[in-house]
Amino acid sequence: MRLLQSELLRAASRRLVPMVVIGGLIGIVVGLGIAAVNADKPSPSAVARAQIGYEQDVARCEQSFTGPQVPGGFDSVTQYCEENQPPGIGGFLLRDLGAILQGIATFVILLGVILGASLGGADWTNNTMQTLLTWEPRRVRVFLVRALVIAVCVFVVTVLLQVVFAGVDALVASTRGTTAFLPTSFWRTVFLTIGRVSLVTTGLALVAYAVAMIGRSTVASLGALFGYLILFEGVIAGFRPTIQGSLLVRAAIVVITHRPILDPTRFGDGASDVLMGVSRAWTVLGVYIVLLSMLAVTIFRRRDVT
């Protein structure tokens, strides 16, 4: 408990944590403020006409599905039709919140990775790891407790920022847009998206933490991750599309969007064309986190810190 309290105090005292929160809140206010200023609120009559057309399109969509098969990533045909039928009206729509949250997930993940790399590599950069190990020499315990603190910190920060974003987005939609055309499971989908983005961000933050402990530097962690993103995710996946089923960032995308990646070499073969489904994506994320953490613990235990 003393080590846990010490790590929590250390994380809370880092200036980067409040800077990330404040910077995220400022970005939310500025971004949605600009959207509100440039939005044109539709008239009630236009919304009513569009609502009638939207309901008719959803009904036709449901009738077009004759079999029991549900589109991948959806719980029901109704959910698929409600989320994929355009309402036929422009402006700031609350129904777009789920897609927007998926769109800004890249920035949320980036903030989480920076937090994980910084909280893991700061002691090496500041040459204070020796002091910590003098007070608590059990290195495995130090590694695991710090990983727990980083996971809690990143999860709380990302959930907070996304919930604030959702609240401000709803406020802008009610004043400068419309809250009509909401699917039946709209809020459930929104909160599940927030949860998935936060969990994925937490996992990638732990990956950044493990790499920072291996490289003994925040910069080394970020450099290695961006190098992996460019080399493997960008270049190699382009030459060998089938390898996408084993890539970290591709797995994160599948988890967040709840949409599988299809194999371009088998497209149209039915179930066999799924290169990475949601279950496999969670597994890939878990394997990366566990293997890198085990490697980081092994190196941390054996290498001298002086």
pLDDT averaged over the chain?
A: 85
% of the chain surpassing 70 pLDDT: 94
Rounded CA-CA distance 126/19 in Å is 19
Contact 260, 155 (CB under 8 A): no
The residues facing 99 across adjacent strands are none
Global pTM reads: 0.86
Backbone angles phi, psi at 270, to 5 degrees: 90, -135
Pick the closest to residue 86 from 73, 72, 96 (CA basis): 96
Q: CB-side exposure of 213: number of CA atoms within 13 Å? A: 28
- Which tens digits make up the pLDDT trace of 120-177? 887 777 777 777 777 878 888 888 989 999 999 999 999 999 999 999 999 999 999 8
Q: Which residues contact 243 (CB under 8 A, 6 or more apart)?
A: 236, 237
Q: Which residues contact 97 (CB under 8 A, 6 or more apart)?
A: 166, 169, 170, 173, 186, 190
Q: Provide the token pair at 180.
A: 């009509």
Backbone angles phi, psi at 14, to 5 degrees: -70, 125
- Which tens digits make up the pLDDT trace of 27-85? 999 999 999 898 888 888 888 888 888 888 888 888 887 766 776 667 778 888 888 88
pLDDT for 42 equals 86
